[in-house]
Structure 1
Amino acid sequence: MADLAVAVAGASGLVGSTIVELLEARRFPAASLRLLGSKEVPGRKISYQGTEHAIGRLEPDSFRGIDLALFATSAEVSRTAVPWALDAGARVIDNSHAFRMEPGVPLVVPEVNGDTVSGDTMLIANPNCCAIQLCVALAPLARAAGLRRVVVATYQSVSGAGRGGMETLENERASAGGAHADTARGPGVFAHPIVDNLVPEIGPFSRDGYTGEESKICEETKKILGLDELRMSVTAVRVPIQTAHSQAVWAELTEPLPPDEARRVWERSPGVVVIDEPGRSLYPTPRFVSGRDEVFVGRVRGDPSVDSGLAFWVVADNVRKGAALNAIQIAESFIAV
């Protein structure tokens, strides 16, 4: 495929600006780049290949002449603007949850189900950040031994809430001045102070007691893995770190898979790095993983509470593999189709 005319919608946001950085770093074949914002960004420019690009306003005719549109906008904006891009003939990769569960729209993690994208696929949904890293870790187990049940506790960094989340943590740290976090409460994006705290609320609560984030992880994981009957339960927690999401995972398998064999399965799997030497205190941590592209697995052990169970720890950079990088990898995969 020849070089493409590319547009990035939501370019001024955390994920959008990271998409631009990665397009350049990965030498994506972009003949031209158009940056768009859903809100006015007076004078804002982003550097790409040594040139400053102004951010234009997202409008119905913004996608004229565009081959590929990468959306890093809210679901509300995507529902309005994605049809503009499709009507203009652009292929779309959307990072919001607007289309993820729609029948006929592929929800793609290239290492797991990249084969769901064909040459004529025009709209592809980029999954939830936690679902992406979870599926990269679960898919090799599903292929090797089958999956019956998965329980997950997430520890999600504030960057999952965008720049506003990161600024909230920094502002609370600055205003605390050594005082208890409760005295530092100011304007922010979380239900409670985040500094020196954990907040088990990401997204609105539903009648069943689960949050929107928890439901997304369950629903999207099943769709990506193609396991509609997989039993799952998730507790999602916001933690006071800037970048990288961590997950404690308990997987009940269909067939026994000893921890050593599970490690070998992951070591052969694309996009997975195993760090698991507990005797030397070696395992993935958010600080180590930040800025990296892979999904990291460690603390692998048997789960004695069930037959054929494994417990393990998964960490990934939520802005990169959990959002921007995965979107670009999807685009790279269909360039080759």
Structure 2
Amino acid sequence: MGYRVAVVGATGAVGREMLKTLAEREFPVSEVIALASGRSAGLEVSFGEKSVLKVKNLETFDFKGVDIGLFSPGASVSAVHAPRAAAAGCVVIDNTSQFRMEPDIPLVVPEVNPHHLKQFSKRNIIANPNCSTIQMVVALKPLHLLARIKRVVVATYQSVSGAGKEAMDELFNQTRAVYVNDPSVPEQFTKPIAFNCIPHIDKFMDDGFTKEEWKMAVETRKILDPDIQVVASCVRVPVFIGHSEAVHVEFESEVTVEQAWDALREAPGVQLVDKREDGGYVTQVDAAGEDSVFVSRLRRDPTVPHGLAFWCVSDNLRKGAALNAVQIAEALVEQGLLRKPKAA
């Protein structure tokens, strides 16, 4: 017995990771359908080590009879095809920004707010949060249970894979150009990304923040607690895979470092690596290909009455996107929220 699962945007970096994650976690499928734009129709993508899927055209695909749709095709494409799939009875788990802040669509990180999944039936759509938000709220949830969080100040150091394959190619080509003294013109970013940091992700808003920074604030409140204040500075760094964050948290009451250590050690989805010695912390290179959110360098923040600071790292293509979407599907199964699967 298994579910018919469609992966939309199957030729992109996140779509391929979704296919890989479904196979690795042995999600119960009777059929997996790879979908992408018409220009990608006919291409082949891998599902697990032995299966190869031929990509079908999203524009002409009929979602009737499909149980779950894992969407990562871009917001404008999801805006058209996710409601179409949902109307056909497919439960859509959308990785784009299109539906995240709509009040009748749940925004879910399974380790943090799985109870929100019960709200999905209103639209048949569940939103996957922004990659940088996901890893932060996974680390914040066990701390929030110790003492309510008042305020979070976060600086992110986000890899180029968050901007897609073309962005990864640009980092590679610019790095090579530096070594051979070739000229290179930025195309995917506003400044050269090789050997550089760019304090600009997504569009600028009227208040001077970028939309990425806005997303972290509003999504954290929707997922974790509407009263938490968040201020973010989001930076693109010359790393291929993995986002890292320097997080400063102010609580309503005292939380000791030892209490926080104990809570994080027991928290689902978190690995605490904090040895307070050379190399006793996790970096993006360490986290690439891993499922966990890693927390290091946990310490007291002496600038506020009840404060902690820590370093947080995760693979943005896995927990920040594909893995979280598959975990949502798994949670739907565990909670009995999907129709019964058909025989394979």
Whether these two folds match at TM > 0.5 is yes
Query: What is aligned with 1:161?
Result: 163
**Contact 1:275 1:284 (8 Å CA) reproduced:** yes
Q: Which residue of 1 aligns with 2:194?
A: 195
- 1:73 counterpart letter in structure 2: P
User: CA offset at residue 260 of structure 1?
Assistant: 1.6
- Report the Cα distance in structure 2 between the residues aligned to 1:39 and 1:200, rounded to whole angstroms: 35
Measured after TM superposition, the shift of residue 47 of structure 1 is 2.2
Structure 2 match to 1:91: 91
SS of corresponding position for 2:203: coil
Q: Equivalent residues in 2 for 1:1-337 (5 A)?
A: 2-41=1-40, 43-49=42-48, 50-59=50-59, 61-118=61-118, 121=121, 122-179=124-181, 184-225=183-224, 227-337=225-335
1:40-69 deviations in Å (ceiling 9; x for gaps): 115410122523211111125431221111
1:173-230 residue CA offsets vs partner (Å, 9 max, x unmatched): 1222254xxx7432531110000100000011011000010001111011110x2222
Q: Is contact 2:161-2:240 (8 Å) kept?
A: yes
Q: Measured at CA, do residues 223 and 119 of structure 1 come closer, stay the same or move farther in structure 2, by a change above 3 Å?
A: closer
1:214-273 C-alpha deviation (Å, 9 max, x unpaired): 001111011110x22221110000000100000000000111111121111100110100
Task: Give the drift of 1:77.
Answer: 0.4
User: CA–CA distance in 2 between the matches of 1:271 and 1:229?
Assistant: 24
What amino acid does structure 2 have at the position aligned with 1:141?
L
Distance 1:220 1:185 in 2: 36
CA distance in 2, matches of 1:302, 1:223: 27
2:86 counterpart letter in structure 1: L
The answer to whether the Cα contact below 8 Å between 2:105 and 2:119 also exists between their aligned partners in 1 is: no
How many Å separate the matches in 1 of 2:151 and 2:334? 35
The total of aligned residue pairs comes to 332
Shift of 1:39: 4.3
Following TM superposition, by how much is the alpha carbon of 1:280 offset from its aligned partner in structure 2, in angstroms? 4.0
Give the unaligned 5+ runs of structure 1: none
Give the superposition deviation at 1:120: 6.3
Distance 1:43 1:98 in 2: 27
Q: What amino acid maps onto 1:47 in structure 2?
A: S
Residue 305 to residue 39, structure 1, CA distance change in 2 (3 Å):
farther
In 1, Cα distance between equivalents of 2:282 and 2:267? 17
Structure 1 residues 298 and 120: alpha-carbon distance in aligned structure 2, compared to 1, 3 A threshold: closer
Change (3 A) 1:34 1:271: same
CA distance in 2, matches of 1:120, 1:16: 22
Q: Deviations over 1:133-162 (max 9, x none)?
A: 000011111111110110000000000001
Secondary structure at 1:166 match in 2: helix
Which secondary structure does the structure 1 equivalent of 2:247 belong to? strand
TM-score normalized by the length of structure 1: 0.95
Percent sequence identity is: 43
Runs of 4+ with deviation above 6 angstroms: none
> For the structure 1 residues 42 and 9, does the alpha-carbon distance in structure 2 shift closer, same or farther, using more than 3 Å as the test?
closer
TM-score by length of 2: 0.94
Distance 1:187 1:39 in 2: 28
For residues 185 and 120 of structure 1, do their structure 2 counterparts lie closer, same or farther at Cα, with a shift above 3 Å needed? Answer: closer
Kindly report the root-mean-square deviation, in angstroms, between the aligned alpha carbons of the 2 structures. Answer: 1.4
Q: Contact between 1:109 and 1:326, CA under 8 Å: does it hold in 2?
A: yes
Quick one: distance in 1 between partners of 2:197 and 2:290?
25
